[in-house]
Amino acid sequence: MKLWSKEALSIGGIYCVLSTPFLVLQTPITEKIGLFLFSIFIICMLLLYWPKFSLYIENKIKKFPNISYYLISIGWIPYFVIIGIICFIFLAAAFAWADDTIEKAGNIFNAICTWGAPVSLGIAYIRARTTR
């Protein structure tokens, strides 16, 4: 079985880059575009099980190594958000948290998402410069 970590993270990075402008603008059309991009992201995650698609993504990573390095560095964010929201909902329902506990947990989750991208890009920049 092949591990598709680079391919999955690059798909996540592409989704992050494409969806960020539409998530910043809060209009009905940009929300529909964001939902469309999210559905394409989910479809691409499922298409990784198809060998030709994963090989295509792998070839693009090899063809564009510099940009792929940065896309892979921020590719964890959509997966973290999806898994985090699901876990957050289940934990809040299972433990019947108080409002202040939910707010604190949400603030921690938001801080990780907000500060995670610049830290990841900074680490990617340092590693890219030191490995050359």
pLDDT value, residue 11:
94
71, 10 in Cβ contact below 8 A? yes
Q: pLDDT tens for residues 10-27?
A: 999 999 999 988 888 888
Q: List Cβ neighbours of 113 (8 Å cut-off, separation of 6 or more).
A: 77, 80, 81
d(CA 83, CA 81): 6
pLDDT beyond 70 at 66:
yes
| Predicted pLDDT at 1 | 42
**Percent of residues in the chain assigned helix, strand, coil, to nearest 5:** 85, 0, 15
Question: pTM for the whole thing?
Answer: 0.83
